[in-house]
Amino acid sequence: MVNVHFYTRRGCHLCEQAAKVLAEAAKEWAFVTTIVDIDADPAARALYHEEVPVTLLPNGQRFRYGLDRNEFQRQLSSLGAHPPCRGRCDQPIS
């Protein structure tokens, strides 16, 4: 399972737009999102204070200031993400 880290803060319109892209992508791809409010995490705030939203993938790909849906989905595919399980999850995905 691909783990996506999403660094955000309240009241950020770019963060809200990126969250919508993540929500839409989650309908088509199986991945886990870890949401980090940078204002509640001093280490994250030190890293990303001026760059939110930041979406970080396990391959090091980082999206800053927004999230391009097509590129995000291409990256998910390259990381081996697949469509969400519908029905029996023990069956191979074709």
Tens digits of per-residue pLDDT, 13-47?
999 999 999 999 999 999 999 999 999 999 999 99
Domains in the chain: how many in total?
Answer: 1
The DSSP secondary-structure symbol of 31 reads E
SS3 55: strand
- Is position 51 within any domain? yes
- Whether 41 is covered by a domain: the verdict is yes
Range of 52's domain?
Answer: 27-79
- Confirm whether 48 is domain-assigned: yes
Q: Where are the beta strands (DSSP E) in the chain?
A: 2-8, 31-37, 54-56, 62-64
In a domain, 17, yes or no: no
Residue 36 φ/ψ, nearest 5 degrees: -120, 115
Domain membership flag for residue 93: no
Global model pTM greater than 0.95: no
Encoded tokens for 28: 């088509």
Q: For residue 34, is it within any domain?
A: yes
Within-domain flag for 31: yes
Q: Is residue 12 part of a domain?
A: no
Give the three-class secondary structure for 13.
helix
Instruction: Report residue 80's pLDDT band, with 50, 70 and 90 as the boundaries.
Output: confident
